[in-house]
Chain A
């Protein structure tokens, strides 16, 4: 088309070169061409020029703010307060004040009580041997470690404790964390990443929920201890996987459960879970903070309780803050699994290590557990005793296994509002405290819990509670419930 361009200055430029007979022909063609042709081509050329120079998209209505407008916006914006005000009589604001150690006998708000609230199952909190071991450690190491495990924060006691825990649990390896809450919350995201799938029990405790959230994996929740529902979800996933086998080959699957559930006091059906594990090839992570040092002949927890090979469980985690009455937590299992956390467990790598005196106390507590395996029988007997004694309490339902050292008393009939339920239960707790039985309600963050358990009083049984004290507690609670709920 450009060859016919009448407006082009090329012909004259090129003609100066001389031998361009083509150009001459072109000019001739131009004269010979019909007028309509020229007009059409002229329009086309103009059209192209327009296309070239016009913007190809429509500008949206632009709303460029002027500097002044921006300043005004900045001036105008009022953020919400950092924290909303909390009323002075919020039930959770006024803590109980414990004077002295929270042992078997506890002084709460100035009143001496028998403790039915602290998870001191084996009574090791006030144990003189444990204290001696901690004192000896204090003398040698001082208090803090002043560093994470990687940077000179690994002490010989840490290695000893890990070895002892692995031996106690009969697993290849154990790893310790400096805080119970951070243990399972760090362990889950060390393995499960974005795109992986976690099947989790609806009643899972808060630390697990945080671990799931940190992992950013796909979460599938099955009803509490409902194996059929879990299998349904697994099957559903299997069908999904068949549609996209390439993706399925790299999608890890985990089942996360608790041994004894903190929120319900019930035990997980581990044998069925292990069957599902092999059927659907999903790994099991087991949180045993309540069952470690409680269930099983030697206190090894729920695997021993059911007589399950511990190697069938991929990862067991528990804190050392209940039975062992120290601080911290641990994970154990095969080295193939556990060792990975030494570089990938955030709460392990990036936190200061456990103060040696707490590790020494945990070692001594393990010694005591190994020396007195009867202690677990005693604990179970006491659990059953108070469990039985509390049956038929007016207006209250006992929730949890009869062998669980922590179980719940829930209202048989809710008043209709959670707030009033809590107030009612608190009156029972207060009356029991007045009669020297220290109790507490189970506390939850109502807005944060994935599935909020109903309000309850949590009863904790320890081996230090005598038969008489257990009976007294049961009768006090019954009387209080009778007088308040009637």
Chain B
């Protein structure tokens, strides 16, 4: 029960690896393994703590059923499109105005095939409206559809106290208690909400200056600049840093905002395999040795773009190795700490703090206030000349409205709390609680036999579901049991790797987590989600897997 994939034949490297250890060559294999481990130990300089990350292969039967599931969905889609086109089935889709029927169609038909025939069936699992603080629990507005999800109607009922394991409320600063929001309230009363101008014109208030100083102090760097939107922080600043003749090396799983920023910069973009240092080093070597294609001129500069925690994989960037590589090849490093700032490291200073590195080893520290700080917006921090340059040349400084003052104040108060500037240990406790919750939740899910992705210390916890039908069922059943989970499928993930994603929060109590775990356990049995072939004490094998991955 706990291990349905245990006896099945599967493909992929993990399988080969396991087969080897079971087979006649086990002695040989053991020797290899020792070599591998010593190899890893030979670089103690990289990691001062165990770096345990796992991405278990999809069991073959799950992969087959997933493709089958999409296949059937697609067939039915064609059938229903046929019925719709011939007026047999009523179509609820919005249509073009009749005055514009002879225009070139705004959408190509196949573009919307997936949306119309697959997404529409399970659409109720996204965009669920809530009507309370997105804290450890929230209130979901109940909605029903009588036309198969084409439209929703609100019943007027509120599903109260749904346990929230979906929001990025890592440190629990999404809260509305009177005393916690005193300063925010005061700032709102004084400043109002708008700014009506950009930073360079008339939108630079003392609040922004205060926040920037605090951010720099929090991160332990010379200066910082803040922007009104996290997404735009990436897309408006990367183009200011690199341009034509520069090379961007970007992790293949980077967030859309980074990809957009890279694209807008006009620099050449190459992607390396997710968190794979061999792949990165190969690209770096080639870039430095061979220069630009065709012209063969040397690259002006090379910028590596990575994230601290990858929000869909739950993995943590291999920062120490990347820093060593970037020093060796004289590249620059841009680190997006959207998810890791606040949620990693003993002082919550993100992935740099987590690995105990020097913040100046990272050339551009970027992060957002949306997640751990419960506010909105983003920052870029680093050396003063970098920040000065952005103050002059960032798209965000010139053309975008500056950050709302009460939103800035929310960041200030939560950041001060983390730094202990409010005179309490409340902030540090939140950081510790988050780490504890993460470890507890991950261990329990592993024990239950689910396939869990990512680093053991990452508060983003993806649980693999594979089949699109299970995606819908998982989310719906858990909502019935008053648990709000996030599920993600294609195109946000590879087509067969649909998953649920839990985000831990320091505000989750042990009781809440136990409730969630109990329900997930039951639902996992009902839906047969316990795919993992690892034994219950998963540790040694996980370790092994990491070193295995390191090698290829």
Residues of chain A having any CB pair with chain B under 8 Å: 65, 70, 73-74, 77-86, 90, 92-93, 95-103, 106, 108, 115, 117-120, 124-127, 130-131, 134-135, 138-147, 149-156, 158-159, 172, 178-182, 185, 191, 205-207, 210, 213-214, 248-253, 278, 281, 283, 311, 319, 321-322, 324-327, 334-337, 339-340, 342-343, 346-347, 349-352, 354-355, 357-358, 361, 438, 440-445, 448, 458
Contacts and interface: CB of A to CB of B under 8 A. Distances in A.
B350 interface: no
Contact of B176 (A139, A206, A326): A139
A144 B370 contact: yes
A325 B134 contact: no
Contact of B194 (A139, A250, A283, A325): A325
A448 B240 CA distance: 9
Contact of B168 (A96, A147, A335): A147
Interface centre among B119, B175, B260 (most CB of A within 10 A): B260
Nearest to B330: A79
Given A83-B385, A340-B107, A159 B405 contact: no
28 contacts: A77-B298, A81-B301, A82-B332, A84-B389, A95-B204, A102-B205, A131-B193, A138-B184, A144-B134, A150-B126, A152-B130, A152-B138, A180-B400, A191-B106, A206-B399, A213-B263, A214-B264, A283-B103, A321-B196, A324-B194, A325-B194, A326-B194, A327-B403, A350-B257, A351-B231, A357-B406, A443-B201, A458-B201
Nearest to B209: A97
A448 B266 CA distance: 12
Interface stretch (B39-47, B68-76, B390-398): B390-398
Given A93-B391, A101-B190, A252-B106, A115 B202 contact: yes
A108 B231 CA distance: 30
Contacts of B141: 156
Interface centre among A92, A207, A251, A278 (most CB of B within 10 A): A92
B201 A143 contact: no
A118 B202 contact: yes
Given A83-B389, A142-B174, A117 B363 contact: no
A98 B202 contact: yes
Contacts of B173: 144
B550 interface: no
Nearest to B129: A154
B108 interface: yes
A181 B129 CA distance: 25
Given A146-B134, A321-B194, A182 B288 contact: no
Contact of A102 (B102, B197, B264): B197
Contacts of A106: 202
A321 B203 CA distance: 11
Nearest to A351: B231
Interface string B62-101: 0000000000000000000000000000000011110110
Given A117-B197, A146-B169, A327-B194, A79 B202 contact: no
B229 A178 contact: yes
A151 B94 contact: no
B401 interface: yes
B30 interface: no
Given A178-B376, A206-B395, A206-B399, A151 B288 contact: no
Given A79-B301, A138-B181, A322 B399 contact: no
Contacts of A90: 392
Contact of B193 (A326, A445, A458): A326
Contacts of A346: 231, 256-257, 260
A224 B112 CA distance: 36
A96 B255 CA distance: 34
Contact of B196 (A125, A210, A441): A125
A443 B398 contact: yes
A77 B174 CA distance: 48
Contact of A361 (B190, B193, B205): B193
Interface centre among B127, B132, B484 (most CB of A within 10 A): B127
A152 B195 CA distance: 27
Contacts of A440: 197, 201-202
Interface centre among B108, B373, B395 (most CB of A within 10 A): B395
Nearest to A197: B104
A154 B406 contact: no
Contacts of A179: 228-229, 231-232, 400-401
A350 B261 CA distance: 13
A327 B256 contact: no
B97 A152 contact: no
Contacts of B168: 146-147, 352
Given A80-B301, A142-B133, A250-B108, A118 B192 contact: no
B401 A181 contact: yes
A96 B103 CA distance: 49
B386 interface: yes
A144 B159 CA distance: 21
Nearest to B164: A152
B198 interface: yes
Contacts of B200: 92, 95, 443
A322 B192 CA distance: 13
B376 A355 contact: yes
Nearest to A346: B256
A443 B402 CA distance: 14
Nearest to B484: A152
Contacts of B418: none
Contacts of A102: 195-197, 202-203, 205
Contacts of A442: 201
Nearest to A95: B204
Interface string B329-369: 11110000000000000000000000000000001100011
Interface string B4-18: 000000000000000
B52 to A, nearest CB: 26
A73 B299 CA distance: 12
Given A147-B167, A151-B167, A152-B166, A140 B176 contact: yes
Contacts of A115: 202
B406 A134 contact: yes
Given A86-B385, A438-B202, A149 B127 contact: yes
Contacts of B329: 74
Given A144-B373, A350-B257, A124 B188 contact: no
A434 B263 CA distance: 44
Contacts of A135: 185, 188-189
Interface centre among B169, B188, B239, B264 (most CB of A within 10 A): B188
Nearest to A339: B94
Interface centre among A102, A185, A191, A322 (most CB of B within 10 A): A102
Interface in B438-479: none
A110 to B, nearest CB: 11
A143 B174 contact: yes
Contacts of A145: 134, 167, 174, 370, 376
B204 A97 contact: yes
A158 B178 CA distance: 23
Contacts of B189: 131, 135
B94 A357 contact: no
Contacts of A251: 104
Contacts of B298: 77
A267 B75 CA distance: 51
B388 A93 contact: yes
Contacts of A153: 134, 167
Nearest to A192: B106
B167 A101 contact: no
Interface centre among B200, B256, B300 (most CB of A within 10 A): B200
A170 B377 CA distance: 31
B104 A159 contact: no
Contact of B399 (A151, A181, A340): A181
Given A144-B410, A440-B197, 10 more contacts: A101-B191, A134-B188, A146-B169, A152-B134, A155-B130, A327-B407, A334-B94, A340-B107, A352-B371, A354-B376
B199 interface: yes
B419 interface: no
